[in-house]
């Protein structure tokens, strides 16, 4: 296992692994021109992208999630238990 991953807990038999690298990234700003060269330059610039925490299901019993989402999972599970 890599150093930036660690196993959080098991929720209902599902293993949850925290990883700060688990984010969703998409380009939200595009140039007005449709030229391929200009679009390629804009695609290289980091300020044209947004990121948000994400989670991925790996197999049937494992979830890899960002630490912010794991905290939300814990809060939801804590509120559901009697």
Domain boundaries, the chain: 6-80
Tens of pLDDT, residue by residue over 10-60, are 566 778 889 999 999 999 999 999 999 999 999 999 999 999 999 998 888
Residue 74 has a pLDDT of 81
Q: Which residues pair with 63 in a beta bridge?
A: 16, 57
Pair of tokens at residue 48? 């044209």
Distance from chain centroid for Cα 17: 12
Residues 77-82: contacts with CB under 8 Å, at least 24 apart: 77/11
Q: pLDDT at position 1, please?
A: 44
Whole-number pLDDT of residue 14: 79
The pLDDT of residue 2 is: 47
């Amino acid at each position: 296992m890599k150093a930036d991953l660690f196993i959080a807990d098991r929720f209902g038999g599902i293993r949850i692994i925290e990883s700060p690298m688990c984010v969703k990234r998409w380009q939200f700003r595009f140039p007005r021109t449709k030229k391929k060269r200009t679009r390629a330059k804009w695609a290289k610039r980091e300020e044209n992208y947004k990121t948000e925490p994400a989670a991925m299901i790996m197999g049937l019993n494992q979830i890899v999630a960002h630490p912010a989402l794991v905290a939300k999972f814990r809060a939801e599970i804590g509120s559901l238990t009697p």
